[in-house]
């Protein structure tokens, strides 16, 4: 599912590039198939699904591979959002990256995910970083180019 900005939003949010149905589904603890619509407004994301609708903050979603990497301003937005959480990413970020590393089937893509995780590791709990590095090592053994 591709998120669509509403016509009312004249400027896309800076973190818009990180919006994905997979991340939103993991955040809301639902299956991605239950999401019917993702509407990106100027300051929040409206998620409409079968029997529910929720507002989600852009700052709750983790960065992804394939778009412009996080900027210092992105880090500021995330840290401002996480003031009450010791300035660390929500726990589901670790689960999201675990899922992404395990789904990856190409060495180059696996390495791209590792580069992203290394770039944002200051945002993640140390235990999550260790787990992700372990999963990378395991996957790297399977996907190592000949």
Q: Which residues contact 44 (CB under 8 A, 6 or more apart)?
A: 55, 56, 57, 58
Last residue of a domain, one of 11, 45, 61: 61
18 and 83 share one domain: no
pLDDT at 12: 81
Final residue of a structural domain among 11, 28, 61: 61
Verify that 8 and 55 share a domain, yes or no.
yes
Under-50 pLDDT residues of the chain: none
Q: What is the pLDDT of residue 140?
A: 81
Residues 48 and 85 occupy one common structural domain: no
**What domain count does the chain have?**
2
Please check whether residues 67 and 57 belong to one and the same domain: no
Give the separation between CA 112 and CA 101, rounded to whole angstroms. 10
Q: Which of 12, 39, 61 is the last residue of a domain?
A: 61
Q: Return phi, psi of residue 74, to 5°.
A: -65, -45
**Predicted local confidence at residue 116, as pLDDT:** 96
Look-up of token digits 């999401």: 35
**Structure-token pair, residue 34:** 């239950």
Structural domain harbouring 73:
63-146
Residues 67 and 56 in one domain: no
> Are residues 106 and 89 both part of a single domain?
yes
Sheet holding 35-40, edge to edge: 4-5, 35-40, 44-49, 52-57
**pTM given for the model:** 0.86
């Amino acid at each position: 599912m591709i998120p669509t900005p509403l016509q009312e939003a004249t400027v896309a949010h800076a973190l818009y590039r990180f919006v994905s149905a997979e991340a939103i589904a993991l955040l809301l603890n639902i299956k991605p198939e239950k999401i019917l619509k993702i509407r990106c407004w100027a300051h929040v994301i409206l998620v409409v699904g079968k029997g529910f609708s929720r507002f989600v903050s852009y700052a709750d979603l983790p960065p992804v591979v394939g778009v412009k990497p996080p900027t210092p301003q992105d880090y500021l937005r995330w840290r401002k959002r996480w003031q009450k959480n010791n300035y660390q990413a929500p726990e589901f970020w670790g689960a999201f990256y675990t899922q992404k590393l395990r789904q990856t089937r190409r060495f180059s893509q696996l390495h791209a995910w590792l580069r992203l995780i290394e770039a944002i590791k200051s945002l993640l709990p140390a235990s999550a970083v260790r787990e992700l590095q372990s999963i990378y090592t395991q996957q790297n053994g399977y996907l190592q180019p000949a």
